[in-house]
Amino acid sequence: MTPAIRIAGVTKRFRSLQALAGVDLEVAQGEFFGLLGPNGAGKTTLISSLSGLARPDSGTLEVMGHDVVRDYRAARMALGVVPQELVFDPFFSVREMLVLQSGYFGIKKNDAWIDEILHHLDLTTKANANMRMLSGGMKRRALVAQALVHRPPVIVLDEPTAGVDVELRQGLWTFIRKLNQDGHTIVLTTHYLEEAETLCGRIAMLKAGRIVALDTTANLLQRFASHLLQVKLAAPVALPPLLAAKLLREADGGLEFGFEHFDDVADILAGVRAAGGSIVDMALGKPDMEQVFVGIMNQN
């Protein structure tokens, strides 16, 4: 089957900044895929290249088998992008914006689908409101609607829930999950790592324009350890090398260790005490995507 997205050898430089340094990636049709990375990693540059807003220096990008440069019309028809920035025309209402967007893609009599989008995004009562009068969260949802108006098989969401409150965020994800279940391919970038952990079947992590991790979410969560030990100390200590190798991160006066077997807990605690640490609190758990993300970014 043709990949929903195929990216091969893509590079992009902005003067002295190497934004993309040879990215290779395929996303299968029907996937819910996560693209994670710190600020400046190249996520938005990659999305801009995929949508035709930026021209890569080398490499190829395809959407549903259509080259984004040579076959740009078909590639754009197959792709819907929700941008990270709140970019909108302040002179139109929400419905007018969606009707106009439909026209850009040559779609007439799109009212039924527009009504469905507005309903699922809880925008029905705002349909006739001017875009500039909406709150930040409402504007964000209107941009989601704009990306969906031509029913693209591939949808890229670049920080779609930034500035959206918890209740509306849950409603948005319910709708996006339904689109994915109906066969749409979803690519998500987000700084809410718990969203990626919950929603995405596979995740790629970018750093300095390169993919430094690519695997299923389950495999990434098990990459460092099966379990997590959080220890809070009365004062910082210097750990011996063998114990430091099990350390995932230090935060707020505490240490987070990864371990495979519960028998290892006693050895870790004994090592902390031998290093002069005074333990004031501890907790057991499983690594989450935040621990995995920090660990991978620190390793590469």
Separation CA 197–CA 5 (nearest Å):
21
- State the pTM of this model: 0.82
What digits encode the pLDDT tens for the residues 204-234?
999 999 999 999 998 888 776 568 888 999 8
Tokens of 30: 């029907």
| Cα separations in angstroms, 55 against 46, 58, 87 | 10, 9, 20
Count the Cβ atoms, other than its own, within 10 Å of residue 108.
Answer: 8
- Beta-bridged to residue 254, according to DSSP, are 232, 251
What does the mean pLDDT of the chain come to?
89
288 and 187 part of one domain: no
Same domain? 239 vs 144: no
Contact 127/120 with Cβ under 8 angstroms? no
Taking alpha carbons only, the member of 213, 220, 206, 215 closest to residue 46 is: 206
Beta strands in 37-163, from DSSP E residues, in sequence order: 58-63, 66-67, 79-82, 154-158
Q: Model confidence over 35-49: pLDDT tens digits?
A: 999 988 999 999 999
Q: What are phi and psi of 138, to 5 degrees?
A: -65, -40
Confidence of residue 138 (pLDDT cuts 50, 70, 90): confident
> Same domain for 216 and 232?
no
Would the pLDDT of 300 be above 60?
Answer: no
178 vs 263: CA distance, rounded Å: 43
Kindly state whether residues 60 and 104 are assigned to the same domain. Answer: yes
Question: Where among 200, 221, 242 does a domain terminate?
Answer: 221
Residues 192 and 64 grouped into a single domain:
yes
Residue 127 CB burial class (10 angstroms; 0-12, 13-18, ≥19) = middle
In whole angstroms, what is the distance from residue 260 CA to residue 262 CA?
Answer: 7
Whether residue 138 is found in the same domain as residue 202: yes
> Does one domain contain both 206 and 284?
no
Question: Do 143 and 292 belong to one domain?
Answer: no
Please tell me the predicted confidence (pLDDT) of residue 225: 59
**Same domain (yes/no): 281, 193:** no
Percent of the chain with pLDDT over 70: 98
Q: pLDDT, tens digit, for every residue of 96-117?
A: 999 999 999 999 989 999 999 9
Decide which of 221, 246, 261 is a domain's last residue: 221
The count of structural domains within the chain is 2
Residues 152 and 286 in one domain: no
Domain shared by 62 and 136, yes or no: yes
Looking at the structure, tell me whether residues 140 and 154 fall in a common domain.
yes
Query: What's the CATH code of the domain at 266?
Result: 3.30.70
From 185, 200, 221, the end of a domain falls on: 221
In what helix (H) or strand (E) does residue 160 lie, and over which residues does it extend? none
Residues of the domain holding 22: 5-221
Give the CATH number for residue 59: 3.40.50.300
**150-197 residue pLDDT tens:** 999 999 999 887 767 777 778 788 888 999 999 999 999 988 888 899
pLDDT at 275 over 60: yes
Q: What pLDDT is attached to residue 173?
A: 87
